Amino acid sequence: MTSLFDRLQFNFDQTKFGSNLDLSEESLNTLESMSTDIELSDWQLDDMANNNVVNTNYFINPLANVCNSISANVSNLISSIYTISSPNENVLDLLNSSLNCIIQLDRFKSHTDNISGVSETTGSQTVPTYSTAIDTGQTLLTILNKTDGFANGLPAMGSFTSLFILDELLSNNITIGTSCNYFIAGANGFISLTPTTSDSTTITSDSITITSDSGGLSIVEINTIKNEIDNFNTFLYNRWTHDWTFYENSNKLIDDYTKITNLSNIGVTQKYLIDNYIGTEKIKTDIANNNIVIPVTEPPVVVPPPSYYDYFNQF
């Protein structure tokens, strides 16, 4: 196994550092005690040493293939519509729905890449990733176990619902794929999309002009395909926005928990400020009825944290 230090590609005569490299016994003891907290398996050391720590080595998006398949089908439908010289309003509506489908698929795929751990996207309090959503969910579970009696992992899974709809996506892929191919086959016979008649075929008022006896789709058929795609768009939108909303609400709830717990078991000085200067009548009443005040016998000793300079200077 290549050492981790070798990966850093150090290239210098270290003797030029002189005695500055030597650590005191106290520093060595501190270093040893700190290093006991670092535990890595052999495979983890190998991956780090070989610069092989890549998300896709550990995670997959279980929905990627079906998303790509649906996207390909809808893209072919869009390309077919673009070949029609004079599309009517119904076909243009289908085009808009199809373009929106590509947008929803891209957003859904990006979201599931994030929450499956595949993507390197940096998370925030509004956009969940695998690591941020897991951390937030575990914190939320701890709170809800105490307040709501949750004894399962539901609060930790609320931002990951989009990963659990493979069956629905597969079903939609069959439906939409079949409809797209049906439209494309019919589009090969289009010369325009206005109700008319032809020498070879009698066209009713809800039909379109065709150039052969076998080509063309009725407006009812076109609208049926549009409705299928619209319903799928709504389904995707509801899933990824649910996960985002749940994650954002989780962070807001945790933030509120932090704020509200700062008003529990307050000290004498804090109570004095609230009672006489900064507190509303509500908080004064709430504290008076429910809060345990911690008596202050003497000012606490404040020990400032060590600076980076002090920390590294000890070695």
Give pLDDT tens digits for 119-167: 877 668 889 999 999 999 999 999 999 888 888 889 999 999 999 999 9
- Token pair belonging to 104: 């929803």
**Mean pLDDT, residues 9-22:** 85
CB 191 within 8 Å of CB 85: yes
What's the CA gap between 229 and 261, in Å, rounded? 48
Verify that 26 and 174 share a domain, yes or no. Answer: no
**Mean pLDDT, residues 92-116:** 97
Query: What b/e sequence results for 238-268 when a residue is b if at least 16 CB atoms lie within 10 Å of its CB, and e otherwise?
Result: ebbeebbebbbebbebbeeeeeeeeeeebee
Verify that 194 and 209 share a domain, yes or no. Answer: yes
**Predicted pLDDT at 39:** 80
What's the CA gap between 200 and 27, in Å, rounded? 95
- The secondary structure of the chain, three-state, reads CCCHHHHCCCCCCHHHHHHHHCCCHHHHHHHHHHHCCCCCCHHHHHHHHCCCCCHHHCCCCCCHHHHHHHHHHHHHHHHHHHCCCCCCHHHHHHHHHHHHHHHHHHHHHHHHHHHCCCCCCCCCCCCCCHHHHHHHHHHHHHHHHHHCCCCCCHHHHCCCHHHHCHHHHHHHHHHHHHHHHHHHHHHCCECCCCCCCCCCCCCCCCCCCECCCCCCCCHHHHHHHHHHHHHHHHHHHHHHHHHHHHHHHHHHHHHHHHHHHCCCCCEHHHHHHHHHHHCCHHHHHHHHHHCCCECCCCCCCCCCCCCHHHHHHCC
What's the CA gap between 134 and 267, in Å, rounded? 34
Verify that 72 and 9 share a domain, yes or no. Answer: no
The model carries a pTM of: 0.77
What's the CA gap between 10 and 188, in Å, rounded? 65
Verify that 253 and 123 share a domain, yes or no. Answer: yes
Verify that 88 and 132 share a domain, yes or no. Answer: yes
Verify that 154 and 285 share a domain, yes or no. Answer: no
**Predicted pLDDT at 199:** 36
Map tokens 């609400």 to a residue: 249
Verify that 244 and 268 share a domain, yes or no. Answer: no
Higher pLDDT, 313 or 121: 121
Weakest mean pLDDT among 16-30, 71-85, 87-101, 171-185: 16-30
58 in any annotated domain? no
**Mean pLDDT, residues 230-257:** 96
159 in any annotated domain? yes
Verify that 112 and 246 share a domain, yes or no. Answer: yes
Higher pLDDT, 261 or 108: 108
Residue 310 has pLDDT above 50, yes or no: no
Verify that 69 and 39 share a domain, yes or no. Answer: no
**Predicted pLDDT at 232:** 98
**Predicted pLDDT at 284:** 87
**Mean pLDDT, residues 278-290:** 86
Residue 296 has pLDDT above 50, yes or no: no
On average, the pLDDT of the chain sits at 82
**Predicted pLDDT at 291:** 55
**Predicted pLDDT at 2:** 65
Q: CB under 8 Å to 142, separation ≥6 — which residues?
A: none
Verify that 39 and 163 share a domain, yes or no. Answer: no
In tens, the pLDDT along 182-241 reads 999 987 754 344 433 333 333 333 333 333 333 478 899 999 999 999 999 999 999 999
**Predicted pLDDT at 224:** 96
Number of domains the chain is built from = 3
Higher pLDDT, 15 or 190: 15
For a pLDDT cut of 90, what percent of the chain falls above it?
Answer: 47
What's the CA gap between 198 and 81, in Å, rounded? 22
Verify that 203 and 103 share a domain, yes or no. Answer: yes
Verify that 240 and 98 share a domain, yes or no. Answer: yes
170 in any annotated domain? yes
Instruction: Look up the domain containing 25 and give its range.
Output: 4-53
**Predicted pLDDT at 189:** 57
**Mean pLDDT, residues 261-273:** 85
